[in-house]
Amino acid sequence: MVGSDEQQVRYEMPAPMVARIVLDRAAKRNAQGLAMTYQLDAAIRRACEDDAVSVIVLAAEGDHFSAGHDLSMAEVAEPDPRDHATLWGQKDGRGWEAIYSREREIYLGMTERWRNAPKPVVAAVQGSVIAGGLMLAWMADIIVAAEDARFRDNTGSDMGVPGVEFFAHPFELGVRRAKQFLFTGGWLSAQAALSAGMVNEVVPREQLQARALELAQEIARTDRFTLKLIKQSVNAAEDAMGRRQAMDAAFANHQIGHLQNMLLHGFPIDISRLPDSVRKGLEAALAAGRGISSGGQ
């Protein structure tokens, strides 16, 4: 197992034809390290390859859907190359090759694979959905949000890079809302996300999981192959609008942001503006000589 012996993702079958994948790291607000990322990838693959599954529900244990990518640097082990989801190797390369290859695989490439999973994905989100947490929500086809859900991409305002690697902001929010969201680094409420079309429904917190499952079961009544074709057609329409080209350009700018921070601060992100609890832990990890291989957001 990558980076940790802890099982951080649960796989359930709560109803016929529905698989539920649960982020299960509530003590860390479901922050995504390598272990969670590769366990999630394995769970999605399992659901996609299971003939008994037509729809996938993505949920999270605890008060928060996801606080983003794990900045603790506690998981420094890289996956076995046989576990790689893309063809980007050389994660120990010289210069910027290692960081670029790692982020292309784990952040952009992996999330894009999940977005294109052939089976519909319904995300049930609650509490804080921050930076890398947005990527998990945005890869889903339908998002049901609890009334207490709130969304933020703090990579620009706190970390000195222009948004997360899976840069879906303009397509999820529209151009002007996306700019305000990123320029300010502010929070977007569940109702504001609903107004922007970023989420499909907002429900009371206590009804979140039941509503997501109900919706998944409703979708599962449609023929499985028809669902695959519908999803492929809609995704193709969005890509024809330039989504993938825009995302590749944004990923290049993301790397420029990392390089700027390396020149200014000696680390791929500006840790000086992070909350004290995160910054001190990261500084301690750096002092312990764990390197920069786990830098993310």
Say whether 66 sits in a helix, a strand or coil: strand
Note whether residue 36 is domain-resident.
yes
Q: What is the pLDDT of residue 81?
A: 80
Give every strand in the sheet of 142-146, ordered side by side.
Answer: 9-15, 17-23, 53-60, 121-125, 142-146, 201-203
Q: Is residue 137 in a domain? A: yes
Contact 65, 152 (CB under 8 A): no
**Per the domain annotation, does 292 fall within a domain?**
no
Torsion angle in degrees (nearest 10) through CA of 204, 205, 207, 213: 120
Beta strand 188-189 pairing with 150-152 = antiparallel
CATH number at residue 139: 3.90.226.10
Domains: count for the chain: 1
Whole-model pTM: value is 0.92
User: pLDDT class for 275, splitting at 50, 70, 90?
Assistant: confident
**Per-residue confidence (pLDDT) for residue 293, from 0 to 100:** 43
Region class of 68: left (phi > 0), else alpha (psi between -120 and 50), else beta: left
Which residue range forms the structural domain that includes residue 217? 9-287
Residue-wise pLDDT for 107-147, tens only, equals 999 999 999 999 999 999 999 999 999 999 999 999 999 99
Comparison of pLDDT for 12 and 91, the residue scoring more: 12
By three-state DSSP, how is residue 17 classified? strand
Q: Specify whether the CB–CB gap between 31 and 48 falls below 8 A.
A: no
- Asked if residue 3 is part of any domain, the answer here is no
> What are the backbone dihedrals phi and psi of residue 168, each rounded to the nearest 5 degrees, phi first?
-100, 5
Mean pLDDT of the region 233-253: 97
Q: Let me know if residue 294 belongs to a domain.
A: no
Does 297 fall in a domain? no
175 occurs within a structural domain: yes
Helix locations, 70-223, DSSP H? 97-103, 110-115, 132-138, 155-159, 169-173, 175-184, 190-196, 208-220
Does residue 20 form part of some domain?
A: yes
Output 87 or 163, whichever has higher pLDDT.
Answer: 163
Q: Is 196 exposed, middle or buried (0-12, 13-18, 19+ CB in 10 A)?
A: middle
- Residues with Cβ < 8 Å from 84, sequence gap 6 or more? 105
Q: Which two tokens stand for residue 250?
A: 């944004």
Q: Is the pLDDT of residue 77 over 80?
A: no
